[in-house]
Structure 1
Amino acid sequence: MPTPVSQPDDVALSLTLAVVTASPSPLLLLNGDLAIIAASNSFRNAFDVAQVELAGQALYGLSNSAWDIPELRRLLEATLSGAQSDDCELDLKLTQPPLRHLVVQARRLDYLDLDQTRLLVALSDVTEARADTALKENEARHNIVLLQEVRHRVANSLQIIASVLLQNARKTPSEETRGHLTDAHHRVMSVAALERLLSASQEGDVDVHAYFTALCESITASMIGEAGRVTLTVDGGDGVIDARVSVSLGLIITELVINALKHAFPDGRSGRITIDYSFHGPNWILCVRDDGVGMPLVAPDRTGLGASIVEALARQLNALVTTVPENPGTKVSIEHTQIALVHEEPEVASHSFSKTQAAPGTARHQVQKDRS
């Protein structure tokens, strides 16, 4: 008996069914009425469906109508109409297991037989992945709460330390010792203000304007008092910075404000100290200026403790300290400039700059000295 010759259409359909059946991922081939033509073995195993139940079965009636889901209907109807539909996520409620979270993709097949509509539906079970993500998010939220609580406690502890320093400063008969204790009190309060701000933040970044404003309020309350002959104001600073950078900037501001209050406004002189922070891409400039008596004509031979602290902190930030006279007063700028060389990749240039520190002999490297 001669071997029957297979028609090309039969061969194509047989190949399609074989590909769908052998798919390692759950896969369905549907007709225009959304009845199942073929299903992959992985689909039957994943959703515990027998082959007999699949043959010619309407998709929405599968597993006691568990697949009759509004999100799935919208996706398949849009795909049938020829519209480019996005993937959808849906929850499939079965008896075993009770709930599956699926990502569904549907594509209309274009081939020579235009009268026969075919849809290819791929399913991905992301139940475990979503559960892992939810677990990690819960752990992250729990860690944030713990970190906020720690920072709140640290802020309280620092305030207690600052109060002890201030009490000792008031009791000591030595004017020099009193000055050192008072300065230490202000430095501790600046860190306490940052920790209190971070304790109310959900992220690791710090709002610059809010932080500098809180810092100025703390300095005003402890150093200027109610008389208010000198005012502290904050200009600019719209943005966020890393918490580690904010600690250094807060200490720099504290030192420069202490220095200005000590030397810029003698004999009860009134005035103003302005703190300005501006961003320029990866670069930034912090300026602390006053309208006081200005810099001395002859610079002191020895650099004070406050100036040394400012210089050390600026060096850690790869920034330059510049002090210039103004009319009236003095301006101190802390400037960070990230320079990308033309022949280097951006990452390489940034890495090279991070390891480069300002040379003391450069023209722009002027250290702010205490004006005593």
Structure 2
Amino acid sequence: MATRPPNDLEDAAVSLTLAVIIASPSPLLLLDENLAVVGASDSFCEAFGIDRATVTGCALFGLGAGEWDVSQLRALLSAITAGTPQVVALEMELERPEIEARCLIITARLLAYEDIAQPRVLFAVADVTDARTNTKAKDAAIEHLGVLLNEVRHRVANSLQIISAVLLQNARRTMSAETRDHLKDAHNRVMAVATLERKLSESPNGGESVELRTYFTDLCKSIAASLISDNDHIALVVKGGGHVPSRVSVSLGLIVTELVINALKHAFPNGRVGRIEIGYQAHGPNWTLSVRDDGVGMPKELPLTRSGLGTSIVQALARQLEATVETVPAVPGTTVCIEHVQVALVSDHEPERAPAISPAEGLSSGERNASERSIANGCATLR
């Protein structure tokens, strides 16, 4: 059987390569070692206004009005023709007279031919102008919405502070002690939300998350300003902290407000000096919020099941956060713990692990009682 001469095989390979390039739906060029065009796809000529009759043999940097003569592109192709065989990409702006600039991704690769003395470079172009424009428009829209949201929050915070000031002013004017207490409670609840809105409007991340230590500290300053006449008399201290989503921080802030107000009302009678400590700890998805005072503690005759407005608010907010409220007397004073526990499920592809359990789960009755006694040192009830 006769064998074709090598030249016939080479010609057939080149002809097939050119046929594939010309028919390609993506803009392609086949360049020689001098970066002159050996073949061009119809899609390339149509996309960039190149005359197909004149493109073959023309230098790449001489195409059109010379818009392809870009220094970064020269450096890229020089590296390719020097023997860099891997795919290399370049993003560049193609500027043409009287035509909108296009954002292109240029990919070039040195092809492996048997006639190594005559290398070929495959030159591919992807137009990503619309994609980049859409991304920029989306980013601009997100930034604009963020600015508007912060402005709304700033205005809401101002309005809430005005409302809280009116409530506090009316509380000072009223002659009824009961009405005065209700107005002060309403004032502090409004200030809890106002403080959060102010913090969110100043947040550099657009209010997506809130740093709790700073938020609780600001909240305690606001409460102390309206309910504590002498800051040396009762101290409000914040410990621990972490970042939570803004929607969670609203509920946590309201819970802290209710518990701190509750402690200030009942824990320090007759000018008793004391301290209220707000703590927050998180381990993965699990977290604990506690408010503890070193006051007189709960009256023994007061049933643990007693529920006032503050208790109802805390219980409702805890349910929204899928958390539980621990109400156990402690010595000295009292503490309220709000705990969120999320048990992670073990998938079929993961090694079996011991399930997460609550401190008292799986214990004998004696061990459970001991555990509950230890919890009593950290968790107590609302008065």
TM-score by length of 1: 0.86
1:86-128 C-alpha deviation (Å, 9 max, x unpaired): 4221111111423111111122222433333222121111112
C-alpha separation in 1, matches of 2:89 and 2:254: 52
Measure, in 2, the Cα distance between the counterparts of 1:225 and 1:112: 92
Larger CA deviation: 291-300 vs 58-67: 291-300
SS of equivalent to 2:117? coil
Q: 1:202-245 deviations in whole A, cap 9, x for unaligned?
A: 2422222222222122112222245431122222213x322111
1:75 is matched with: 76
| Counterpart code for 1:65 | G
Q: Where do residues 81-100 of structure 1 align in structure 2 (5 Å cutoff)? A: 81-82=83-84, 84=86, 86-100=88-102
Count of residues in Structure 1 that have an aligned counterpart in Structure 2: 352
Give the counterpart of 1:288 among 266, 282, 291: 291
Listed as ranges, the matches of 1:52-63 within 5 Å are 52-63=53-64
SS in 1 for 2:64: helix
Q: Distance in 2 between matches of 1:175 and 1:271?
A: 24
Corresponding residue to 1:214 among 210, 215, 218: 218
- What SS does the corresponding residue of 1:67 show, helix, strand or coil? coil
- Render the CA deviation track for 1:315-343: whole Å, top value 9, x for unaligned: 01101111344443322221111112335
* 2:269 partner SS: coil
Matched, 1:254 2:266: no
The answer to whether residue 372 in structure 2 is matched with residue 370 in structure 1 is no
Equivalent residues of 2:157, 2:195 under 8 A apart: yes
Paired position in structure 2 for 1:46:
47
Which residue among 341, 345, 351 is the counterpart of 1:341? 345
Q: 1:53 to 1:194 in 2, by over 3 A?
A: same
Q: Out of 36-45 and 222-231, give the one that drifted further.
A: 222-231
RMSD: 2.6
State yes or no: 1:267 paired with 2:301: no
Q: Deviations over 1:255-301 (max 9, x none)?
A: 01111111222221222222222222222221222222233334335
* Equivalence for 2:319: 315
Counterpart contact for 2:334–2:381, Cα < 8 Å = no
In the alignment, is the contact (CA less than 8 A) between 2:327 and 2:336 conserved in 1?
yes
Match status 1:119 vs 2:121 = yes
* Structure 2, unpaired ranges of 5+: 351-368
Counterpart AA for 2:195: A
Q: Tell me the residue number matched to 1:242.
A: 245
Matches of 2:207 and 2:26, distance apart in 1? 39
Do the aligned partners of 2:240 and 2:280 also contact (CA within 8 Å) in 1?
yes
Could you report, residue by residue, the CA deviation over 1:23-68 in whole angstroms, capped at 9, with x for unpaired residues?
A: 1111111122222211111111110011243212221222232112
Write out per-residue CA displacement over residues 163-216 of structure 1, whole angstroms, 9 at most, x where no aligned residue: 121122122222122111111110000000011111122242222222222212
Equivalent residue, structure 1, for 2:364? none
Q: For residues 129 and 104 of structure 2, what CA distance do their matches in structure 1 show?
A: 7
User: What runs of 5+ residues in structure 1 fail to find an aligned partner?
Assistant: 347-362
Which residue does the alignment assign to 1:356? none
Map 1:134-173 to 2 at 5 A: 134-173=136-175
**One-letter identity of the residue aligned with 1:296:** P
Question: 1:14 is aligned with what amino acid?
Answer: S
Aligned partner of 2:236 among 232, 236, 254:
232
- TM-score (normalised: structure 2): 0.84
Distance 1:96 1:53, change over 3 A: farther
SS in 2 for 1:64: coil
Which residue in 1 is equivalent to 2:108? Answer: 106
The amino acid that maps onto 1:302 is: R
Cα distance in structure 2, aligned partners of 1:345 and 1:228: 58
SS of equivalent to 1:87: strand
CA apart distance, 1:308: 1.0
* Worse-matched range after superposition: 178-187 or 49-58: 49-58
Matched, 1:193 2:195: yes
Distance (whole Å) between structure 2 residues aligned to residue 310 and residue 56 of structure 1: 80
SS at match of 1:155: helix
* One-letter amino acid of the structure 1 residue matched with residue 177 of structure 2: E
Provide the C-alpha distance between the structure 2 equivalents of 1:264 and 1:78, rounded to a whole number of angstroms: 78
Q: For the structure 1 residues 130 and 343, does the alpha-carbon distance in structure 2 shift closer, same or farther, using more than 3 Å as the test?
A: closer
Task: Using the TM superposition, name which of 257-266 and 323-332 deviates more.
Answer: 323-332
Cα 1:293–1:74 change in 2 (3 A) is: farther
Counterpart amino acid of 1:286? L
Q: Distance in 2 between matches of 1:331 and 1:257?
A: 10
Q: Which residue of 1 aligns with 2:361?
A: none
**Identity rate of aligned residues, in percent?**
55
Aligned-pair distance for 1:83? 5.9
Q: Which moved more, 1:170-179 or 1:324-333?
A: 324-333
The verdict on how the C-alpha distance between 1:268 and 1:26 changes in structure 2, with shifts beyond 3 A counting, is same
SS in 2 for 1:63: coil
Q: Name the SS of the counterpart of 1:105 in structure 2.
A: strand
> Secondary structure at 1:341's aligned position in 2?
coil
Counterpart residue identity of residue 153, structure 2: R
